[in-house]
């Protein structure tokens, strides 16, 4: 009789219980630190040591000298790591994850082994196979990633009530106001979070931790030593860090902004830091963004805000590009129903509707309409979407399609309506939502979407975490 | 490209309930009978819950040291399903 399963690397937490047999490895002890309290670690965690500069740089550049209180947590190659955790045979192999395996599908997450071969996010399947014939591609498994997300969030919440998830695989802990209760160094806490992810989710889970005085610098620190890094950026080492980076290494500066900065003689992060706020505001960014960048680069917080919901929508790359009206209509109807679910999940109503298409031959088509009254139910939204869709150039082969609803206002559906028909439609929609909540996604749906339900797959939402609960309900 | 093989077959599973200080015990698959063969499961790689509507499913990613298996336990119907497997190098299916 063999030994019972070895589950030392298992994700064995459910509902916030940790396992007793998983003894966390002893945490590395921070070095004595420097005069500014910036710790550095030795061993596998590379850390940019804070050099004990004089306050000259801080004064010269007007840097924020506050002790860093923001921690950015980033799961490394999150989806790929989750799959490697679940399937031990894939560990150490180049592999990636895609939403739906097709001839021209893209890698949405690549393992570190794949990245080492040049296979990055956005790489097409054919390109990946050319680079590595043994490349393994799996389809996404939302429940697995949501489990990772929930555990990451649960662990983060044990350190501060003020956390914000930035996406499914990253979040920020704000330690302001907690230091009287928890006086441990953030480096020590960062190491503990890394260990807890390994103990409570799986030993293959690696986490980057960045600590800084604002969200921007914390995120920058988290990206310095991937995978599994832990870095602190504060006013003592900020200049050294900027000297080691390219402009486009800065979060939020991609090619377009990079070109704009270069056009004004700003070629490095240090030159960006030295640029006067007036130049950034009036000439480079031509908006308040310039001033925000001036503050952000110095470690002052400008990114702690809540964005308003502007639109809800859905898009889909057509599985088999086609101009078949029945097929496209069914898929669009399905997209409409899932968009309507999102709308009701956020408890808002929409006045604007937009439908857009991308054609296989290149180019696209888009039409939108602003309505006099708000729409909320599946039937109302589909009626408007369908009308717009009828105006498309019917002969064109569609490669990608999407819709979005805009001009959102808080829902007033709980109020009594003067019209019986309106109430009946609302009740019907509510009843359908409740049945689908209870029995699973698309237990009851419009017959017209039958083709769509077969072809359109639930995607993992990137960039936002607003719909995870809905995603879980519908899983 | 995708090396996993969909199975979706009911299987017999022997589980052990490990002691746990906080939650009393938790369940770990130990042995599985599939197509007349007994497979000893040596590693629990990941366990996570999921739902179908209000129905709770527990997903267990297991390994016998060569092949990897995705098992699902339906907590309402009390059924074990072998959902998928990933053959390892030199594995005998």
CATH classification at residue A119: 3.40.1170.60
Whether residue A329 is found in the same domain as residue A470: yes
Residue A394 neighbours by CB distance under 10 Å: 11
Whether residue A207 is found in the same domain as residue A277: no
Is the CB of B2 less than 8 angstroms away from the CB of A101?
A: yes
Is A53's pLDDT higher than 60?
no
Whether residue A84 is found in the same domain as residue A134: yes
How many folded domains does chain A comprise?
A: 4
In a domain, A304, yes or no: no
Radius of gyration of chain A, Cα coordinates, nearest whole angstrom: 25
Which residues lie below 8 Å from residue A314, measured CB to CB, with a gap of 6+? A335, A338, A339, A342, A402, A403, A404
CATH classification at residue A67: 3.30.70.270
In a domain, A262, yes or no: yes
In a domain, A53, yes or no: no
Residue-level pLDDT at B36:
93
**What's the gap in Å between the CA of B38 and the closest CA on chain A?**
12
Residue-level pLDDT at A96:
93
In a domain, A48, yes or no: no
Residues in chain A closer than 8 A to B53 (CB atoms): 436-441, 443
CA nearest neighbour of B80 among B64, B54, B57: B57
- Distance CA(A120)–CA(A89), nearest Å, equals 21
Touching B: A residues 313-332, CB under 8 Å: none
Band of the pLDDT at A217, cuts 50, 70, 90? very high
What six digits make up the tokens of A198?
């390994």
Is B24 an 8 Å CB contact of chain A? no
- Distance CA(A164)–CA(A400), nearest Å, equals 33
Residues in chain A closer than 8 A to B29 (CB atoms): 5
Is the CB of B1 less than 8 angstroms away from the CB of A436?
A: no
Give backbone dihedrals phi and psi of A82, rounded to 5 degrees, phi first: -60, -40
Is the CB of A5 less than 8 angstroms away from the CB of B41?
A: yes
Q: What is the pLDDT of residues A136-179, one digit of tens each?
A: 999 888 888 888 888 898 999 999 999 988 888 889 999 998 88
Whether residue A221 is found in the same domain as residue A348: no
Q: Which residue of A has its CA nearest to B60?
A: A86
Is the CB of A4 less than 8 angstroms away from the CB of B16?
A: yes
List beta partners, residue A138.
A97
Is A15's pLDDT higher than 60?
no
Band of the pLDDT at B63, cuts 50, 70, 90? very high
- Distance CA(A15)–CA(A406), nearest Å, equals 37
Whether residue A342 is found in the same domain as residue A417: yes
**What's the gap in Å between the CA of A280 and the closest CA on chain B?**
48
A278-292, A304-318, A341-355, B53-67: least confidently modelled range: A304-318
How many helices (H) and strands (E) in chain B?
0, 8
Range of the domain at A279: 250-297
Taking CA atoms, B79 is separated from A454, B10, B74, B75, B83, in Å, by 26, 7, 5, 7, 12
Q: Do residues B49 and A147 touch, judged by C-beta distance below 8 A?
A: yes
Whether residue A233 is found in the same domain as residue A100: no
Q: What is the pLDDT of residues A399-458, one digit of tens each?
A: 999 999 999 988 876 655 566 666 777 788 888 888 877 777 677 877 877 777 767 766
Residue-level pLDDT at A20:
32
Whether residue A325 is found in the same domain as residue A454: yes
Q: What b/e sequence results for A283-301 when a residue is b if at least 16 CB atoms lie within 10 Å of its CB, and e otherwise?
A: ebbeeebbbbbbbbbbbbb
Q: Do residues A411 and A433 touch, judged by C-beta distance below 8 A?
A: no
The label of the residue with tokens 């009287």 reads A180
Instruction: Give the nearest partner residue to A475 out of B50, B61, B86, using CB atoms.
Output: B50
Residues in chain A closer than 8 A to B59 (CB atoms): 143-144
Q: Which residue of A has its CA nearest to B87?
A: A89
Is the CB of A10 less than 8 angstroms away from the CB of B45?
A: yes
pTM, to two decimals: 0.75
Residue-level pLDDT at A207:
92
- Distance CA(A108)–CA(A459), nearest Å, equals 11
Instruction: Give the nearest partner residue to B42 out of A2, A87, A101, using CB atoms.
Output: A2
Q: Virtual CA dihedral for B46, B52, B54, B58, nearest 10 degrees?
A: -20
Which helix (H) or strand (E) segment is A83 a member of? helix A78-86
Give the domain ranges of chain B. 5-86
Task: Establish whether the linkage from the previous residue to A227 is cis, with ω within 30° of 0.
Answer: yes
Is A131 an 8 Å CB contact of chain B? no
Q: What b/e sequence results for A35-44 when a residue is b if at least 16 CB atoms lie within 10 Å of its CB, and e otherwise?
A: ebbbbbbeee
Q: Say how many CA atoms lie within 13 Å of A142 toward its Cβ.
A: 20
Whether residue A292 is found in the same domain as residue A330: no
Instruction: Give the nearest partner residue to B53 out of A2, A125, A439, using CB atoms.
Output: A439
What is the rounded average pLDDT for all residues in chain A?
81
Burial group, residue A167, by CB count within 10 angstroms (0-12, 13-18, 19+): middle
Residue-level pLDDT at B6:
93
ipTM of the complex: 0.93
- Nearest 5 degrees, angle CA A243-CA A244-CA A245? 95
Residues in chain B closer than 8 A to A471 (CB atoms): none
CATH classification at residue A411: 3.30.1490.100
């Amino acid at each position: 009789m063999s030994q019972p399963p070895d589950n030392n690397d298992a994700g064995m937490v459910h509902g916030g219980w940790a396992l007793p047999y998983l003894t966390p490895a002893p945490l590395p002890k921070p070095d004595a630190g420097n005069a500014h309290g910036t710790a550095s670690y030795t061993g596998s965690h590379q850390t940019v040591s804070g050099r004990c500069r004089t306050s000259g740089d801080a004064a010269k550049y007007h840097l924020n000298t506050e002790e860093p209180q923001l921690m950015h947590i980033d799961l490394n190659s999150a989806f790929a790591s989750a799959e490697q955790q679940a399937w031990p045979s894939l560990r150490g192999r180049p592999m990636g994850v895609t939403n739906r395996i097709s001839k021209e599908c893209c890698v949405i997450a690549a393992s570190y082994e794949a990245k080492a071969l040049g296979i990055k996010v956005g790489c097409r399947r054919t390109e990946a196979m050319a680079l590595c014939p043994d490349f393994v591609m799996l389809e996404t498994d939302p429940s697995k990633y949501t489990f990772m997300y929930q555990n990451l969030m649960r662990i983060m919440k044990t350190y501060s009530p003020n956390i914000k998830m930035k996406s499914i695989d990253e979040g920020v802990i704000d330690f302001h106001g907690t230091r009287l209760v928890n006086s441990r160094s953030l480096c020590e806490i960062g190491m503990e979070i890394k260990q807890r992810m390994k103990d409570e989710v799986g030993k293959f889970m690696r986490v980057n931790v960045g600590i800084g005085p604002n969200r921007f610098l914390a995120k920058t620190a988290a990206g310095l030593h991937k995978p599994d890094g832990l870095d602190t950026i504060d006013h003592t080492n900020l200049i050294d860090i900027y000297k080691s980076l390219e402009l486009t290494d800065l979060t939020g500066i991609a090619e377009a902004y990079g070109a704009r900065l270069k056009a004004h003689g700003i070629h490095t992060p240090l030159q960006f830091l030295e640029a006067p706020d007036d130049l950034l505001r009036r000439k480079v960014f031509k908006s308040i963004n310039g001033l925000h960048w001036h503050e952000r680069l110095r470690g002052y917080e400008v990114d702690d805000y809540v964005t308003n919901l502007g639109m809800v929508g859905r898009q889909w790359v057509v599985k088999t590009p086609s101009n078949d009206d029945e097929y496209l209509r069914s898929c669009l109807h399905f997209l409409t129903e899932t968009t309507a679910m999102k709308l009701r999940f956020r408890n808002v109503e929409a006045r604007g509707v937009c439908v857009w298409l991308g054609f296989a031959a290149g180019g696209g088509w888009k039409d939108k309409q602003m309505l006099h009254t708000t729409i909320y139910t599946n039937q109302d939204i589909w009626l408007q979407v369908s009308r717009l869709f009828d105006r498309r150039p019917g002969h064109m082969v569609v490669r990608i399609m999407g819709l979005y609803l805009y001009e959102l206002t808080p829902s007033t559906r709980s109020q009594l309506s003067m019209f019986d028909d309106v109430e009946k439609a609302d009740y019907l929609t509510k009843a359908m939502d409740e049945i689908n909540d209870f029995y699973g996604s698309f237990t009851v749906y419009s017959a017209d979407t039958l083709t769509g339900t077969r072809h359109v797959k639930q995607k993992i939402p990137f960039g936002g975490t607003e719909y995870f609960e809905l995603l879980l309900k519908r899983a | 490209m995708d090396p996993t093989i969909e199975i979706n077959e009911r299987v017999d599973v022997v589980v052990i309930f490990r002691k746990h200080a906080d939650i009393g015990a938790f369940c770990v698959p130990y042995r599985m009978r599939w197509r007349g063969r007994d497979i000893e499961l040596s590693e629990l790689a990941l366990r996570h819950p999921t739902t179908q509507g209000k129905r709770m499913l527990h997903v267990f990613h297991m390994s016998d040291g060569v092949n990897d298996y995705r098992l699902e336990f339906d907590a309402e119907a009390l059924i074990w399903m072998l959902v998928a497997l990933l053959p390892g190098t030199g594995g005998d299916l």
